[in-house]
Amino acid sequence: MNENTGGLDRFRMAAAFLVVAIHTSPLASYSALGDFILTRIIARLAVPFFLMTTGYFALGDYVFGKDPKRLHGAMKKTALLYFVSALIYLPLGLYAGHYEGLNFLSALKMLIFDGTFYHLWYLPAAVMGLGLIRLLGRRLPAAGLLGVSAALYAVGLLGDSYYGLIAETPASAIYDIIFTFTDFTRNGLFFAPLFLMLGAYARRTDIARPPLALALSLGAMTAEALTLRFLGCQRHDSMYIFLPFCTFALFDLLLSSNSRPSKRLRTVAAAVYIIHPWFIAVLPPAARLLYAGKLLEENSLPRYLAVCLLSLAAALIFTKLLPERQPPCRSWIELDMGALENNAAVLRSRLPEGCDLMPAVKADAYGHGAAAVAKRLNRLGVRSFCVATVEEGDELRRSGVRGEILVLGCAPPSRVALARRRRLTLTAADFEHAKRLAAAGKKIKVHLAVDTGMNRLGERAENFDRILSVFEMKNLRVTGLFTHLCASDGKDGASAEFTKAQAESFFELTEKLRGRGFRFKAHILNSGGAVNYPELGGDGARVGIALYGVMSTASATDSGCDGLIPVLSLKSEISLIKEVKNGENIGYGLSCRAERDMRLAVLPIGYADGLPRSLSNGAGSVIVGGEYAPIVGRVCMDQMMVDVTGVEAAPGDTAIIIGQSGDKRIRACDMAEAAGTISNEILSRLGKRLPRVTL
């Protein structure tokens, strides 16, 4: 999953140290009030943040798409971590007498609700919260799950910080029953579900809020906590009314940092969280042996810092001992989302008033990653997207993409049910296809394709009676009409004449239908149309390749991409350097022979990753060390060789296959021209095994 979630990983470390603060009270020796603010207000953000992070990564597919795969994976992973952690603390628990007097029911209570050691309650709470959402989610939509979670949290509040309000009322009898099963209401029934759901919604909403939101909500929570402390209402202090608002604002701010994720930080933070109570337990006797016991017993801050440093050191040693997982391929794609936002703004500025973007994100957004692209465009206010298949639309919905999703391809009637479930709009490819869609027996939104001269999909524009029949078909709600411009990439006389004839035929038809009282969205512009013929207008522009900063050909890119920036770069790390002697063969088929002594760099990328084999034997080049390096020999399935004779290059250096280095650049359209194809094919065929790194 290539997302800008580095801010979450960095705060995990801070959250782990905040949990240590809760258990060591670092300011207790200096100020009771200061320690309360640190450990009972600020540090209370830590566990909700951990739960939101779990919800963000594990729940979105289920809550908004009913796919439980990631949810089940998170439950299993957390349960395994709980099992291992319980074993780690078994000796300490036995030594401290935590398990004395346990019977079957009290052991079950400890295992399920309270945790087998005091800080481990979070793990069964997360598992129980995920399980509860899984159970309720079979019948409730996302909003219903959020509502139930909020109601459970409200019940938990009255057993936690607000217990004083009901302690002397008949309602306290209900809580007495609850407290026979669990010591606190901060468990998987009352506490965890809300923050897990907020994490799922954070993935769905993708709306950046200003830092002021965090400051205001934290200020409100501080005032709330101090008031409850003054009134003596608190039975415990894990739950506040403003805690969900504060955690959501913090989470949103961290997501807006747009930094790269760090698995190492995640692992270290988890290890600090798990291991720190061991150091809290062993530090006092160890300090007394070193004649530092008085210092740590009388000064809470050095004790806190010592526990943090020891826990961090142990965590770093632990993570160092873990086996490293090597990536499957040392080649990757870099995506510049700033360039994407720039391109959207440039294209919008070219369109006439009333015509907005309907980006084509089919073929995994031309190899850029459909979900990441569509969600970023959602943030810019784009609310219409185009895909090729129902399955592509389904994937976008599962990723939390909002707005209309139009399936441009000729979807079979068997996919109508899925399209309805995912709120997709289908294309009626012609009169006969429309009849088959209507015969599926379910009401569905469609856009009708009109053929104005391309002779691909679409009912012929002159067949008005058949088009009118589609608008009147039972089960079909025609909300759009479109045609495809097949010559709009060109500005020459023949291309311009044909494009304008297509537009004239299309808009004549739209006016005729609207004269009959039909209301629908009419869209005609594609990338070529938006760049070369924006004055044709319509209600939407199905921009595809232009949105990604190139056009189909190098000449079209040079003449029509003013202001547009390529979004995608393709890079590879040099595996090794080969010395080849004059006269030796290079690669498969004896197709290349060295005409001099040469240095070759072997790159771990080939046609299985989407590189055209037609780039072989000098047809294509890469950039190494700021210089062009021609491809020599045949492009292999997983590797290729480039000539780096006279170029500073070594194993581990980066080769740029698509992208720019200094004044040297290779665009997708340049590679396409060398391969005898178009940019669209080059980009859309880049393989899934190439990791996408978002910048």
**Active-site hit among 62, 122, 304, 362:** 362
| pTM given for the model | 0.59
Q: Which token pair is 377? A: 């465009």
Distance CA 217, CA 208 (A): 16
My answer on whether 433 and 288 are in the same domain is: no
Answer yes or no: is pLDDT of 230 > 90.
yes
Instruction: State residue 323's pLDDT score.
Output: 63
| Better-scored residue on pLDDT, 330 or 677 | 677
Which H or E run contains 603? strand 598-603
For 68-77, 153-162, 567-576, 662-671, which range has the lowest pLDDT when averaged over its residues? 68-77
Instruction: State residue 104's pLDDT score.
Output: 85
Answer yes or no: is pLDDT of 604 > 90.
yes
Answer yes or no: is pLDDT of 172 > 70.
yes
**Active-site hit among 30, 66, 69, 588:** 588
Instruction: State residue 328's pLDDT score.
Output: 44
Inside any domain, residue 595: yes
Q: State the pLDDT confidence band at 2, using cuts at 50, 70 and 90.
A: very low
Q: Tell me which of 539, 560, 581 is where a domain ends.
A: 560
My answer on whether 577 and 556 are in the same domain is: no
Q: State the pLDDT confidence band at 205, using cuts at 50, 70 and 90.
A: low
Inside any domain, residue 264: yes
Inside any domain, residue 631: yes
Answer yes or no: is pLDDT of 129 > 60.
yes
My answer on whether 211 and 351 are in the same domain is: no
My answer on whether 482 and 452 are in the same domain is: yes
Q: Express each pLDDT in 31-75 by its tens digit.
A: 999 999 999 999 999 999 999 999 988 887 788 767 687 788 899
Answer yes or no: is pLDDT of 327 > 60.
no
My answer on whether 10 and 113 are in the same domain is: yes
Answer yes or no: is pLDDT of 329 > 60.
no
My answer on whether 478 and 597 are in the same domain is: no
Instruction: State residue 252's pLDDT score.
Output: 86
Q: Range of 268's domain? A: 6-321
The closest of 616, 621, 612, 628 to 590, measured between CA atoms, is 616
Whether residue 72 contacts residue 42, with contact meaning beta carbons closer than 8 Å, is answered with: no
Q: Express each pLDDT in 454-488 by its tens digit.
A: 999 999 999 999 999 999 999 999 999 999 999 99
Inside any domain, residue 680: no
My answer on whether 173 and 211 are in the same domain is: yes
My answer on whether 549 and 573 are in the same domain is: no
My answer on whether 539 and 620 are in the same domain is: no
Number of independent structural domains in the chain: 3
- Across 22-60, b (16+ Cβ under 10 Å) vs e yields bebbbbbbeeeeebbbbbbbbbbbbbbbbbbbbbbbbbb
| CA 450 to centroid of chain Cα atoms | 36
695's CB contacts (< 8 A; 6+ apart) are 334, 335, 336, 337, 338
Inside any domain, residue 331: no
Known active-site residue 588: yes
Known active-site residue 445: no
Inside any domain, residue 671: no
Inside any domain, residue 112: yes
My answer on whether 301 and 341 are in the same domain is: no
Distance CA 66, CA 45 (A): 29
Q: Which token pair is 30? A: 């200096």
Answer yes or no: is pLDDT of 1 > 50.
no
**Average pLDDT for 322-333:** 66
Instruction: State residue 211's pLDDT score.
Output: 81
Over pLDDT 90: what percentage of the chain? 73
Q: Tell me which of 526, 560, 594 is where a domain ends.
A: 560
My answer on whether 453 and 594 are in the same domain is: no
Instruction: State residue 258's pLDDT score.
Output: 60
Answer yes or no: is pLDDT of 210 > 70.
no
Q: Is 544 helix (H, G, I), strand (E, B) or coil?
A: coil
Check which CATH number belongs to the domain holding 363 and give it: 3.20.20.10
Answer yes or no: is pLDDT of 291 > 80.
no
Instruction: State residue 292's pLDDT score.
Output: 67
Check which CATH number belongs to the domain holding 581 and give it: 2.40.37.10
Answer yes or no: is pLDDT of 167 > 50.
yes
My answer on whether 551 and 580 are in the same domain is: no
Instruction: State residue 4's pLDDT score.
Output: 57
Inside any domain, residue 330: no
Mean pLDDT of the chain: 91
Q: Express each pLDDT in 496-513 by its tens digit.
A: 999 999 999 999 999 999
Instruction: State residue 560's pLDDT score.
Output: 75
- Across 320-335, b (16+ Cβ under 10 Å) vs e yields eeeeeeeeebbbbbbb
